[in-house]
A and B are shown apart, each in its own frame.
Chain A
Amino acid sequence: GAGVSQSPSNKVTEKGKDVELRCDPISGHTALYWYRQRLGQGLEFLIYFQGNSAPDKSGLPSDRFSAERTGESVSTLTIQRTQQEDSAVYLCASSLKVAGATGELFFGEGSRLTVL
């Protein structure tokens, strides 16, 4: 597709349930990022993929959070046993990894997660 696509756009779940969020990056973009944006706050880095490996998982808040990526394509962010503090917009972004690239990120519209 032309841009970064995320699904679902909106997810309401009950505390304790698992959720899976999906990101489809721009074709040819080898780097993929997940960020979390709580209401009225800035972007919190979660995890970064280069291809299908994750050199930096330092931002994952707890072991309830995990992410994987298939090749240089779709990524899924999974949150197990959701808690109310997980409520946020989860943003995915992709970027090129080529010589001279400046690290510009292209964002999806986000998945809004509400945990009741």
Chain B
Amino acid sequence: GDSVTQMEGPVTLSEEAFLTINCTYTATGYPSLFWYVQYPGEGLQLLLKATKADDKGSNKGFEATYRKETTSFHLEKGSVQVSDSAVYFCALSDRYTGGFKTIFGAGTRLFVKA
């Protein structure tokens, strides 16, 4: 079945450091790929998405490129801020029984130090 694997955390960075959180997936169909973020004390919200191979999703300085050949969707940001401290979830959504089923990775907690 479909699955998502992302790097274990926590990841601790200093402000302005470069961030990469790795995510790979397995899917039988042609899924859409997502990164969701959960800030402390808040609900999950969509950070960015890509719906087909070679698409790049971007938002708030974060980027991820849908790589079909490596089945990956790594999250990157050039210069992190303290306010980026959160848990990041990679997810895929595949067509399923008239709708979509979304499967999440285990989440990666990011701490950014001032």
Q: Which residues of A contact B (CB under 8 A)?
A: 30-31, 33, 35, 41-43, 45, 48, 50, 55-56, 91, 93, 95, 97, 101-110
Contacts and interface: CB of A to CB of B under 8 A. Distances in A.
A45 B103 contact: yes
Interface residues of B, number: 27
Contacts, number: 77
B97 to A, nearest CB: 4
Given A33-B102, A105-B102, 7 more contacts: A42-B89, A42-B107, A56-B101, A103-B94, A107-B43, A108-B43, A109-B42
Nearest to A33: B102
B99 A48 contact: yes
B5 to A, nearest CB: 11
Interface of B: 32, 34, 36, 42-46, 49, 51, 89, 91, 93-107
Contacts of B105: 42
